[in-house]
Amino acid sequence: MASVELNNVCKSFGSVEVLRDVNLSLEGGEFIVFVGPSGCGKSTLLRLIAGLEDISAGELVIDGERMNDVLPARRGISMVFQSYALYPHMTVFENMAFGLEQAKLSPDEIKARIAQAAEMLQISDYMERKPRQLSGGQRQRVAIGRAITRQPRVFLFDEPLSNLDAALRVDTRLEIAALHKRLADTTMIYVTHDQVEAMTLADRIVVLNAGNVEQVGTPLDLYSKPASQFVAGFIGSPRMNFIGGEIAASQGAATFGIRPEHIDLSRKKGQWKGTVRLTEALGSDTFAHVDTETAGMVNVRLAGAERIGEGETVFLTPQPDAIHLFDDAGRPVRKARAA
Amino acid sequence: MTAPAWLKTTGFYLLVGIIVLQALFPFYYAILTSLEDGQALFEVNYLPAVFDLSNYRSMLSDGVFGKQILNSVFVATVTVIISLFLAITASFALARIRFRGRGLLLLTILSVSMFPQIAVLSGLFELVRAFGLFNSLWSLVFSYMIFTLPFTVWVLTTFMRALPVEIEEAAIMDGASSFTIIRRIFVPLLWPAMVTTGLLAFIQAWNEFLFALTFLSTDSQRTVPVAIALISGRSEFEVPWGNIMAASVIVTLPLVVLVLIFQRRIVSGLTAGAVKG
């Protein structure tokens, strides 16, 4: 069980500051997901933990030990890269053995560890193949297998699913979740820009934006109690409706936020009157984009069976418990229901 | 209006024929001449008329020529080995490590090969004397790096840049030292490029004339290009064409053999870089 702590960690490339005063405390065995838009510094943060980049200021502590100047291989960390980064000229077995040879393990120990990992990932059948003879999903398993054999304290994933096609991505996501259950003692840190991956995999999510930690919390925490307008917009799909102007001002806020699934739609009466401009039927749900008179374009979720025609006039009512209010700096405002 | 198909085809093969003839005829004529002896040498013929190995026999039984071939093999081989070793370590730094003046350094390396050999000859001669290498084969190994290194460093740097950085980072995470990464990851991946550049460096070193003529003074130390040029007849009015041609053919064979051995590697070297993890 390895805890990971980041104390006031900063990173700059030349004069460009990529990460500012990051403070995080990860418990041993946790599955943590770093999520954020591209360029937010999430991959850099992962690379700092891995030791592939130097920490400009601050402290990285793993299991109570300061790691700033420890070599990557001595940190007890394994990493799965976005492009898998398998050694193209080595067989699957050699790929997995390389790190263990560097650690000077005995050949018997190496064989035993690889056999165990191969069985866990069901790759025992192609140990003698080269990476180019494998499919994308198989390469991904080999990359994970290579990371497992080193028996790391901390497991890092850098957008491991982004090179896979959609169907395989869901399968592999489930496998990674299963892997976390099996390796319950290993702390896992996972970087993605896909909030669905973040929500489904994480024990806790770290939302990053422009080098700052916006919020840390469980997936449902982030969903129901976003600490900023950015988090509210980033977590949840489709994204939350943000409404400015008078509706927000009447509640004492700069922005009024409501998720598509928290709006009631009626054909007879409601708070906002509008016309349906576009509908997206996904089977299980239908999303209606409604052009309202007072609130602008609002996206509403309807249960799957409900049908609505484009051009129809409808009334929308936000569910009062699910309203989020933000001030003009994007910070949440305490809900003032009476206002 | 387009030319008829048969005209295009004929034109194409005619052109190919001319190129092949231009490239191969001198060598073919050298082989032809090397097999003739005595008066037959001076009769112009384009098809083999006689088959006489006496020129080869006389060249190979002349004790020094065998030694001179070995000199050439030694110089070219050692030059290639040292060049490749220095080039692969240098290209690792130039392609992967960020440091001040990297671009300037690369240009400087390239500019070294810019000077004509004759311009650096006297300076190099002083250096060779100062190091006590005069009339030693090491003087050639040392001076040949002037033209082999810039070329091998540049080519290998380009190839190394094309390799994905993540592979190297994976090796770092696996605990490999820089030297292990070069030996176990880069050398196998760059092998085709190394064979190609190594072969070209070998050919350059094998054919070099001016330095070999200047830095070596005794017959038994000479390399073959100089040795052939200095073959003389029984009198100053006799040029032993037969022997010269036989020697030329003999010294060309190792290159032909090398190219044939590494032929497939050269082709894959030209298309390398298509290494995707």
**pLDDT tens digits along B80-89:** 999 999 999 9
* Residue ranges of chain A whose pLDDT lies below 70: 305, 335-339
What is the arithmetic mean of pLDDT over B48-74?
A: 84
Chain A: closest CA distance from residue B164 (Å): 8
CA–CA separation, A165 and A127 (whole Å): 24
Terminal Cα distance for chain B, rounded? 50
Q: Write down the architecture of domain A4-233 according to CATH.
A: 3-Layer(aba) Sandwich (3.40)
CB B196, CB B151: distance < 8 Å? no
pLDDT of the residue at A339: 38
Chain B: closest CA distance from residue A178 (Å): 24
CA–CA separation, A153 and A204 (whole Å): 18
What is the arithmetic mean of pLDDT over B103-132?
A: 90
Contacts of B184 in chain A (CB under 8 A): 98
Q: In what order do the strands lie in the sheet with A65-66?
A: A16-26, A4-13, A57-62, A65-66
- Predicted confidence (pLDDT) at residue B74 exceeds the cutoff of 50: yes
Domains, chain B, ranges and CATH? 7-52 (no CATH), 63-270 (1.10.3720.10)
Can you tell me whether residue A297 is helix, strand or coil?
Answer: strand
Q: Would you kindly state where each structural domain of chain A is located, as residue ranges?
A: 4-233, 252-326
State which amino acid sits at residue A324: H
Yes or no, beta carbons of B175 and A78 under 8 Å apart: no
Higher-confidence residue of B188 and B63: namely B188
- Predicted confidence (pLDDT) at residue B39 exceeds the cutoff of 80: no
pLDDT band at B273 (very low <50, low <70, confident <90, very high): very low
pLDDT of the residue at A7: 92
Give the nearest partner residue to A98 out of B164, B166, B174, using CB atoms.
B174
Burial annotation B207-220 (CB, 10 A radius, 16+ → b, else e) = bbeebbbbbbeeee
pLDDT of the residue at B259: 86
Are A4-233 and A252-326 in the same CATH fold? no
pLDDT of the residue at A136: 85
- Predicted confidence (pLDDT) at residue B276 exceeds the cutoff of 70: no
Chain B: closest CA distance from residue A128 (Å): 16
Contacts of B170 in chain A (CB under 8 A): 79, 81, 85-87, 146
What is the arithmetic mean of pLDDT over B116-122?
A: 89
Beta bridge partners of A242: A257
pLDDT of the residue at B238: 75
Q: Which positions ≥6 away from A36 have C-beta within 8 Å? A: A42, A193, A207, A208, A209, A214, A234
Domain covering A252-326, topology = OB fold (Dihydrolipoamide Acetyltransferase, E2P) (2.40.50)
pLDDT of the residue at A310: 84
What is the arithmetic mean of pLDDT over B91-119?
A: 88
Residue A79 in contact with partner chain B when CB distance is under 8 A? yes
Q: At what angle do helices B241-270 and B5-34 cross, to 10 degrees?
A: 130
Can you tell me whether residue A93 is helix, strand or coil?
Answer: helix
Yes or no, beta carbons of B172 and A98 under 8 Å apart: no
Q: What percent of chain B has a predicted confidence (pLDDT) above 90?
A: 41
Q: Which residue of A has its CA nearest to B174?
A: A99
Chain A: closest CA distance from residue B166 (Å): 5
CB A333, CB A327: distance < 8 Å? yes
Chosen from A79, A100, A113 to mutate, greatest number of chain B CBs within 10 A: A79
What is the arithmetic mean of pLDDT over B121-150?
A: 92
CA–CA separation, A238 and A63 (whole Å): 39
pLDDT of the residue at B275: 41
Chain B: closest CA distance from residue A50 (Å): 8
Q: Which positions ≥6 away from B187 have C-beta within 8 Å? A: B88, B194
- Predicted confidence (pLDDT) at residue B114 exceeds the cutoff of 70: yes
Q: Which residue of A has its CA nearest to B165?
A: A85
**Mean model confidence pLDDT for chain B:** 86
What is the arithmetic mean of pLDDT over B41-57?
A: 79
Yes or no, beta carbons of B277 and A139 under 8 Å apart: yes
Q: What is the CA radius of gyration of chain B?
A: 23
Yes or no, beta carbons of B166 and A83 under 8 Å apart: yes
Contacts of B188 in chain A (CB under 8 A): 89
State which amino acid sits at residue A299: N
Contacts of B164 in chain A (CB under 8 A): 83, 85
